[in-house]
Each structure stands twice: as C-alpha cells, then as structure tokens.
Structure 1
Amino acid sequence: MTISRRTALAGLGLGTMLASTGCTPLAAVRGEPTRLFQLHPAKEFAADLPRLTQQITIEEPEAAAGLSSSRIALTRHPLRLEYFAQANWTDTTPGLIQTLLVESFENTGKIISIGREVVGLRADYQLKTELREFQAEYFNEAKIPTIRVRMNAKLVRMPQRIILDSGNFEYTALAASDQLIDVAAAFDTALMSALRALVEWTMRIVDSVDRDITTRRR
C-alpha cells in the first residue's frame, strides 16, 4: 500500500478535496483543535463460550507505517492512502486496538487472566495480530464511504512458541452519511464485529487444546 506524498498536507489539500462531502470540519479552517474519536470494545458474545483459567497475553498489533499513527485513514484508490483532516483516534491505531482487544476479552466475563504483553509476565498463550486494513473507502467516486477492517491473528502456545492456528477477520460497514461522526461510527461497527469474532475464535481454540491435553494426561 503506497502512501501519497500529499498526505502530509491533509489539512490543506485533503481538506479542500473532502469539503463537499462534509467530512472535513470547519475547525480545520478556523484553527480549532483536532477532533478526537474513540472506538469501543465488543460487548455481546455467544452464550456458549467456554470459561477459561489460562493466562493469555495480547501483543500490540503489527501494522504498516500508514496505519501506525493516530490519524484516520481513507482511500480513493487501492494504491493510495490518505487521511481525514483535523481528525484523530484517541491513540495510535495499533495501541487502541490492543486496548480494545483486552477489554473485549474481559467483557466476556469468562476469562480472568488476560492482559497486555509485559516483559517477565508468564503466559500460557499469546495472541499475535496484524492490522492489514483499517480505512474508509471512497471507491468509484462514492460520496459515502465503506469502512473496511481486516486483521490476521495467530494464537501461540507458550512457552513452546508453537503456532496453534491462524485466522483472518475481515468486516465492512457502510457509513450512515458522509459526516465524519457517522464515518467514525461505521469504523466502530466494523471493528466491534472483528473483535467479537477474534475473541470467540481464540477462546474456543484455547478450550479445545486444553481439553485435549487433559484427556491425554488421563
């Protein structure tokens, strides 16, 4: 994915480009502070999720440079990545997703030992993720964007560092309008779907592996 050199001038060039869609705030022109948008963890899960006692640590997702900042990404062409003017997430995108992953696991109410990867912290399993797409898409001259979230996950058994399984999680959501608040809401919808699927996938694999280990020991 190539980042356009003009992204550095998002406050000027992109602001003018998106003015007609309502996605560029007047605050950018008036010199007011950048608007911050927050996202939310998944809250509703399958009722039959297993209860886990194992410790799982969550690494910060890997991401290409264009998705590693706190800026809100958009694309009008598969080879170009740009940003909304005067609009940021409340954290870098990888840091925000790591926090929301931890909170999503906690929201299941069926796992206690979950947290960020910390040096010296013993874990039974480690969840490694890679953020591959996280942008608003304005393809084919669309005025209202489709949000795309695509992540890859690998579940690693510790301390052997054996990859038990890997999975791809891709979700989209159409914004309700061209207003930035609705674009952010669509990001929220798509991301929560990805988080929910990733959490359920992880917990079912951990439960299955531990049941198999228990059976073999008998």
Structure 2
Amino acid sequence: MMMMSRAARIMLLLLLTALSGCTGLANLSGVTTPTDLYVLSPKSTFSASLPQLRDQIVVQQPTATAAVDTDQIAVQPTPLQVQYLPGVRWVDRAPLIVQALMIESFENTGKVPAVGSSTIGLRADYLIVTDIREFQAIVPPGPDASALQIDVRLNIKLIDSLSDRIIGSRSFEEIVPSASDAPDDVTQAFDEALGDTMRDAIEWSIRTIAQHAATGEG
C-alpha cells in the first residue's frame, strides 16, 4: 500500500475540517429558524364590591388534555380534529401560563393577603383547582375559514384545606371572535377571552371563600 506523504495528510486534514465546519453552519442555520413567541396578560380590573379575605390561597397547576398541555397554539378545524398555528408558540405550556396569570390576577384584586403556587411552600387555607376544558381557536362552519372563534373554558374547584372538602365548583367560559386568522389577531382574541374568564372566576372564588369563612363551615 502506498504511504501518504506528510503534505498530503495535512491537505486531507484541512479539507475534512472545512467540510465539518460547513456542516456545522448548516445545522446551526436549521435550528435557529425564527419562531414568534406570544404572551398573555393578567387581569387587573375587578369589581369594587369584592370582600377582603384573611385567608391564604394556593393556585395549583391546572390540568388539561394533551392537545392543550403544550406551548403550541391549538386550532380546531372540525370538532374532532386539532391542528396548531405554524411558526408561532406560547412562551410556555398553556397550563403554566394560566396558573401564573391567575396568581397575578388574584394579587391584582388587592383582596387576598397571600397567594402563590404550591412550589413556594405557602400554607394554604384554600386551594384553587383548575381544569382547562377549552383553550383553542375554532374554525366555525361556513365559507369564511378566517373568522376564527377563540374558546376559553375553565372549571374551578375551591377546596378548604383544613377539611379537605370542595366548597364550590363552577365553570366559566368566554368565546371571542378573532379579527382574522393572523397570529397577532388570534392571540389578541385569546388574551381577551382568557382575561374575561379569569375575572369572572376570580371574583366568584373570592366571594365564595369569604362566605365560607364567615359561616365558619368546615
């Protein structure tokens, strides 16, 4: 077998290095394809008649189906089909977003002395248990497929931590039309639908907890 000269070995090494560098650049370009990220906002306006609580509240991480428990923005073209908006995502999984926004919204009422998640070790007088029943854009029947409707429905259960009893359970839903199927319009409609749903759920929760605490039931 013919032995490769030192100069030939150096040239081969340089060529392989250059080729691997090109492959690395191609891979880097592939994984940095831009994706638009969207956030949602907490609710900050509430009824002035809300009672003041003395109790601490823990908002547990909401449950949701696999179709919703994702950072992708769900769209239902038919009642039995789920797709996702291409090229866009939420900044986090939907249940984590809803949990964080509910905590901040409870704080914004100014009626709760302490509210947080179970991960911070807060001693809870009451638990807020949320199930996300609907959190998607729906394509309504008819010729205009761009007229999406955003459906947000939350089921809220209030649990007295001392007695481990459910003191209230209720569902809250808002359906908001999107101006178009453009991501900016869709996420704006999501923000409005979730905000209205959270406002109703939080006001009901505070009033129900206040009534329960006042009666001394346990």
Length-normalised TM-score, structure 2: 0.81
CA contact (8 A) 1:151 1:169 kept: yes
CA distance in structure 1 between the partners assigned to 2:72 and 2:82 by the alignment: 11
CA contact (8 A) 2:116 2:122 kept: no
The Cα of 1:119 is off from its aligned counterpart by 7.2
Q: How does 1:134-213 map to 2 (within 5 A)?
A: 134-141=135-142, 142-213=145-216
Alignment deviations for residues 134-191 of structure 1 (CA, whole Å, 9 cap, x no partner):
0011121432201000111100001221000100011011112232101100000000
CA distance in structure 2 between the partners assigned to 1:104 and 1:121 by the alignment: 17
Q: Which residue of 2 aligns with 1:26?
A: none
CA distance in structure 1 between the partners assigned to 2:181 and 2:86 by the alignment: 14
Alignment deviations for residues 85-140 of structure 1 (CA, whole Å, 9 cap, x no partner):
11101110000000000000011112121001237532110010000110011121
CA contact (8 A) 2:57 2:127 kept: yes
Which amino acid is the alignment partner of residue 46 of structure 2?
F
Q: How does 1:4-153 map to 2 (within 5 A)?
A: 32-118=33-119, 120-141=121-142, 142-153=145-156
**1:101 is paired with a residue of what secondary structure?**
helix
CA contact (8 A) 1:52 1:111 kept: yes
Alignment deviations for residues 41-67 of structure 1 (CA, whole Å, 9 cap, x no partner):
111111100111201100010000111
Which amino acid is the alignment partner of residue 167 of structure 2?
L
- Percent identical among aligned pairs is 39
The Cα of 1:33 is off from its aligned counterpart by 1.2
CA distance in structure 1 between the partners assigned to 2:127 and 2:205 by the alignment: 10
Residue segments in structure 2 that go unaligned for 5+ positions in a row = 1-31
Which structure 1 residue ranges, 4+ long, deviate > 4 Å from structure 2? none
CA contact (8 A) 2:150 2:190 kept: yes
CA contact (8 A) 1:75 1:139 kept: no
Residue segments in structure 1 that go unaligned for 5+ positions in a row = 1-30
